[in-house]
Amino acid sequence: MSMNSERLKRTMGLVGSGLAELKTLTDRALERPEDKEPEPEGRTDMDPESKPTTGIVLRLNEYQMEILRYVADADGRSMQKTLKRIVIPELEDRARRIEEEEE
């Protein structure tokens, strides 16, 4: 057994534990708290100021990454915050235009 797996077992409190204890631990981790109501279908948190809970992978080429780095550095922000600051307002504007076109 490698040193990393031993360290992981110690961290998780599994030293000397067998598979049965590990299964119990994972089963408990997957349980839904009893006091939590099941979430209704569909989106429930549509507050634009709420904390982000999901993400995407954005694939960029070297040219695009260099532009992003340049702008982020010039603004004194992280690349993620720079993208968010540029993309979200644009998406909101586009969504409004789509709604107006549908009316």
Better-scored residue on pLDDT, 12 or 86: 86
User: What is the pTM assigned to this prediction?
Assistant: 0.53
Mean pLDDT over 54-60 rounds to: 92
For 26: left if phi > 0, alpha if psi spans -120 to 50, otherwise beta; the answer is: alpha
pLDDT at 25: 64
Better-scored residue on pLDDT, 22 or 100: 100
For residue 58, the 8-state DSSP code is -
The DSSP H or E segment spanning 88 is helix 79-102
Q: Are 78 and 72 in contact (CB under 8 A)?
A: yes
- Tell whether the model's pLDDT for residue 58 goes beyond 90: yes
pLDDT at 45: 60
pLDDT at 66: 96
Where exactly are the structural domains of the chain? 1-35, 62-102
